Structure 1
């Protein structure tokens, strides 16, 4: 028979509105932070000469939130954001309750193929900048647990080139400590700038 008895901790929390109100307030502040981050990323785009294809920016930014990414609340900003049935150019910033912020560049389809040679040649730059590469076959996992990601500097050049060519997508990412709240926008924009510089292959990262 299923047990519906509450633990002492559960019994204490369901009788109070305080935690839920604090949680909702915190999520609203994360949403506001993501809005400011989008503004900062867009400002960087206006200043860079990165050769964006028009469609990569036309979809605009999107901020979304939910309650159940592996049982915990999350907030996500996709900017720039281009998703078609087969092609992706997206920079995704995610807040995952109790864990971290993360910044992820997701390339797929023709977009990924366009940058494959540049990515292979960027092994040292990406490794030195502290980026991690996604290892799994399903591109829609977002966390760094369960062997999803590996630091690029832990791979040999041959292993890196194999990963770049293995799938029709690639994801490069960095996590950021939640406790560094005041630096998140600066840190994420810096990661974005580094990635664009590497993809552009004309400026030092």
Structure 2
């Protein structure tokens, strides 16, 4: 019978009996979701203006907004456009909100898209991160996943670029939430610069 007893801390008891926290959380997520929906419309417009210069795969699928509750036990929202995940030529731009942590914008490429991006000067942006993890689908910015390109030796940078995929990222601390729309648009514009064919 001991196994079925419920025990909560004082803090947990307060939250358990107060629905306002969950209702507030739902309102916050709804507002961020609405903002991301508007961002997706801007992304489609930006890409459309460059249609002749971008890989046709950019337009293969429409934007997709997803949400979940358990990325490292915290809620998240995610906008993908473009979203081509088939090997060998992956091409995805992901705008991500992670509750209590950050907003991030990532570009994931492989195959010919990776080779095209590597012809650009990625060191032009001192706030640009590169994925050092074996998987491109982790979204945190701990040192075992993402490192500033500007902090890497040339040798380490070249080694990272030999992986099958290339994942680049910008981040915005969640405390700077007012800047999120501008951050997403600016990041998307930077990704477009890398994808435009000369």
TM-score, with length taken from structure 2: 0.89
Give the equivalent residue in structure 1 for 2:169. Answer: 173
Paired residues of 2:57 and 2:82 also in contact (CA < 8 A) = no
1:15 aligns with 2:11: no
- Relative to structure 2, which stretch is displaced further, 79-88 or 62-71? 79-88
Q: Residue 132 of structure 1 contacts residue 149 of structure 1 at CA under 8 Å; is this kept in 2?
A: yes
Coordinate RMSD, CA, aligned: 2.1
Aligned mate of 2:182, from 170, 182, 186:
186
Query: Do 2:131 and 2:167's aligned partners in 1 also have CA atoms closer than 8 Å?
Result: yes
Trace 1:4-153 onto structure 2 (pairs within 5 A).
4-48=6-50, 51-112=53-114, 114-115=115-116, 117-119=118-120, 122-126=121-125, 128=126, 130-145=127-142, 147-153=144-150
- What displacement does 1:157 show? 2.2
Change (3 A) 1:50 1:117: farther
Q: Which structure 2 residue ranges, 5 or more long, are not aligned?
A: none
- Change in 2 beyond 3 A, CA 1:27/1:117: closer
8 A Cα contact 2:106 2:168, kept in partner: yes
Secondary structure of the residue that 1:87 maps to in structure 2? Answer: coil
Give the TM-score normalised by the residue count of structure 1: 0.86
Does the CA-based 8 Å contact 2:117-2:194 persist in structure 1? Answer: no
Q: Secondary structure at the match of 1:118?
A: coil
Please state how far the C-alpha of 1:85 moved relative to its aligned partner: 4.2
Count the aligned residue pairs: 196
Q: 2:24, 2:105 → 1: CA distance?
A: 25
* C-alpha displacement of 1:179: 3.1
The question of whether the paired residues in 2 share the 8 Å contact of 1:123 and 1:157 is answered with no
Distance 1:157 1:146 in 2: 18
CA distance in 2, matches of 1:41, 1:180: 21
Structure 1: distance between partners of 2:196 and 2:61: 21
| Residues 123 and 160, structure 1, Cα contact 8 Å, conserved in 2 | no
Following TM superposition, by how much is the alpha carbon of 1:159 offset from its aligned partner in structure 2, in angstroms?
Answer: 1.9
CA-CA distance at 1:33 after TM superposition: 0.9
| SS of residue matched to 2:175 | coil
Q: Is the 8 A contact 2:132 2:144 kept in 1?
A: yes
For residues 62 and 49 of structure 1, the distance between their equivalents in structure 2, rounded to whole angstroms, comes to 19
Alpha-carbon deviations, 1:63-121, whole Å to 9, x = none? 00000000000000001221214431111010000001000001123432x326415xx
